[in-house]
Amino acid sequence: MVKVDEQLEAKPQNIVPRGRQGTRETPYSLQVASELLETYGSPLYVYEGETLRQTIQQIAQSIPYRHKQFHFASVTNGNISLLQIFREAGWGLHANTPGDAYLALKAGFAPQKIVYSGSNLRPAEMAQLLEWGVPTFNFDSISQLQQFCDVYQNQNLSPNLTRLGLRLNLPAVTGESRIGVRPAEFPAAVKIAQAAGLQIRGLHFYRGTGTNATKAFTQVINEVMATAKLLPDWEYLDFGGGFGYPYDRDGAAFDWEMFGQELTQQLAQLGREIQLVIEPGRAAIAGCGSLLAKIISVKWQESKQILGVDTTVANISVPAVHGGYREIFCWQETGETYRTDVCGNTTYSRDYLGKNCQLPALQIGDIIAILDVGAYGYAMSYHFLHRPLPAEVLLEGGRDRLIRQREDYKVLVDNQIFT
Ligand SMILES: Cc1ncc(COP(=O)(O)O)c(C=O)c1O
């Protein structure tokens, strides 16, 4: 794995949450939060459309390279209304699974705007993706490539419509990973593609999710390009995914400007133009989402405040599964703050939304916002603990719009067969 400068190394994800007064602008006013909960109920996912559009623009403008295409990685958030914002901004979509591609089509993306880089597809799923018109596939293994070529040959498609790439596995660059193809396997891959009348035209690099150390990307550009040159028909470079989001305002933040400049300079040294694909997930969408919840119980254990809220770790899942706790915001004027645990509405021993936060003394009925949950938030929520999932609302231009219904208990029995 590439060694990254000490001072740029990202802090571990498991950040300690704090109350947010003064550390960031209020996402929206308490009045808005109250009205939203009154209208749509609690808990509630709220996405700020303007914030999302600004982030999309900032990321897109940070890379001067001319032949580039951004594809939003919908593994992080599959809400159609949000996907449509990416589509309107001219982005394509990055699919990890056939479900991602399905959502992209539902959101109105042209199939040509979908890049597929997933693992372990069944032949029937490959056929489905081809039928939907997905053109670009980055394969994770030689055996998947071979199966795809078999499926492809049975479909009678025009070779110009399909672009094949390989996901890179190079421990010195990608770290130890189960995913990807080693350079020593490239000649075999090229032969398999050629036998089906196709070419390996792309190399796909994924640095690993949530990387805030910009140099972890920039230091490997050269090596990734040198590896890509081993592919005789190389014409596109897909550089991931994996860009971090500064959940911890005092920690490292991925530097898009530096990354864009460096990447553009190094690509210019190739002496020819290739196509650059960038597929940000959390970096694009984490910051626009918050989860509103209400305090429903307060107790004190000595000087520690224990807040019970009407949401659960299963509605958000980030603390349990994908990195650390997120910051918890409340609107009370900053006075004295107390060490506080924020606990979910189940008895599951890990049902904490925040641990050891510094929050003011709160009352039953007060509202909190769990910040930066636009990525891997709703998308990773689940029915463990049997609480139906929250609704989602989009705030834009001073208006709010329901973009996903709250589930009710019916969802718990929908697919069950019983007498
Ligand atoms: C190939 C690929 N690209 C992009 C992403 C999005 O990742 P991130 O949210 O880290 O940008 C993922 C996430 O799993 C991925 O596997």
Question: What atom of ligand 1 comes closest to residue 243's alpha carbon?
Answer: 11
Question: What atom of ligand 1 comes closest to residue 242's alpha carbon?
Answer: 10
Residue nearest to atom 12 of ligand 1 (CA): 241
**Ligand 1: does its nearest atom lie under 6 Å from the Cβ of 186?**
no
Domain annotation covers residue 369:
no
User: What does the pLDDT read at residue 324?
Assistant: 76
Domain annotation covers residue 63:
yes
> Residue 243 has what DSSP assignment?
B
User: What does the pLDDT read at residue 323?
Assistant: 67
Domain annotation covers residue 242:
yes
Q: How many domains does the chain have?
A: 1
**Ligand 1: does its nearest atom lie under 6 Å from the Cβ of 167?**
no
Domain annotation covers residue 186:
yes
**Ligand 1: does its nearest atom lie under 6 Å from the Cβ of 93?**
no
Domain annotation covers residue 37:
no
* Mean pLDDT (10-residue bins), the chain, 419 residues: 35 35 68 97 98 97 98 98 98 98 98 97 97 97 98 85 96 90 98 96 93 94 97 98 89 94 98 97 96 98 98 84 82 89 94 93 97 95 95 96 98 97
The four Cα atoms 108, 112, 113, 118 give a dihedral, to 10 degrees, of: 110
Question: What atom of ligand 1 comes closest to residue 117's alpha carbon?
Answer: 1
User: What does the pLDDT read at residue 11?
Assistant: 35
What stretches of 80-141 show up as alpha helix (H) in DSSP? Answer: 80-88, 98-106, 123-132
Residue to mutate, 75, 138, 177, ligand 1, most ligand atoms under 8 Å from C-beta? 75
User: What does the pLDDT read at residue 1?
Assistant: 41
How far is the C-alpha of 180 from the C-alpha of 208, rounded, in Å?
12
Ligand 1 centroid – CA 287 distance (Å):
16
Residue nearest to atom 9 of ligand 1 (CA): 281
- CATH number for the domain spanning 184: value is 3.20.20.10
Domain annotation covers residue 330:
no
List C-alpha distances in Å: 253 to 212, 250, 288, 314, 327: 5, 9, 16, 27, 16
Whole-prediction pTM: 0.94
User: What does the pLDDT read at residue 120?
Assistant: 97
How far is the C-alpha of 384 from the C-alpha of 89, rounded, in Å?
36
End-to-end CA distance of the chain: 56
Domain annotation covers residue 3:
no
Domain that holds residue 63: 49-285
Domain annotation covers residue 34:
no
User: What does the pLDDT read at residue 335?
Assistant: 82
> Residue 346 has what DSSP assignment?
S
Handedness of CA 294, 299, 304, 308 (dihedral sign): negative
Question: What atom of ligand 1 comes closest to residue 206's alpha carbon?
Answer: 1
